[in-house]
Amino acid sequence: MTSVQFKRVAERRGARVVLTFEGSAITATSGDSVLAALLTHGLLVRRHEFGDEPRAGFCLMGACQDCWVWSGHGGRLRACTTPVVEGMTLFAQPPAARDE
């Protein structure tokens, strides 16, 4: 886990949501995007495919594909535009890469 570099500047109200990322439980507020939940916990979305640099989204509006995460069901999601859901299971890599 990296250090937390993002923090909320305003308190959010809403139901508490628990999800897992790479096997670790994290909490978020209903209405948060997956990306917001990950970044406020200091988690990396993924590593750059051509090096080891961390990636955390680029455009933040669902156009660049830099924030892909994979669902426990196997499909990929854009973390910046996908709202958190109670019980969500997410991974930084697709299933084939996790099996290697």
pLDDT of residue 1: 46
Beta bridge partners of 54: 47
Judge whether residue 10 has pLDDT over 80.
Answer: no
Query: For the whole prediction, is pTM greater than 0.75?
Result: yes
Q: Where are the domains of the chain?
A: 16-94
CATH topology of domain 16-94: Ubiquitin-like (UB roll) (3.10.20)
Q: Which of 61, 24, 21, 64 is nearest to 45 (CA)?
A: 21
Mean pLDDT of 10-16: 85
pLDDT in tens, 37-83: 998 888 877 666 667 777 666 777 778 878 889 999 879 999 999 99
Read off the amino acid at residue 71.
S
Judge whether residue 6 has pLDDT over 90.
Answer: no
Average pLDDT of the chain to the nearest whole number:
83
When comparing pLDDT for 25 and 43, which is higher? 25
Beta bridge partners of 47: 54
pLDDT of residue 3: 54
Residues 6+ apart with CB under 8 A from 6: 39, 40, 42
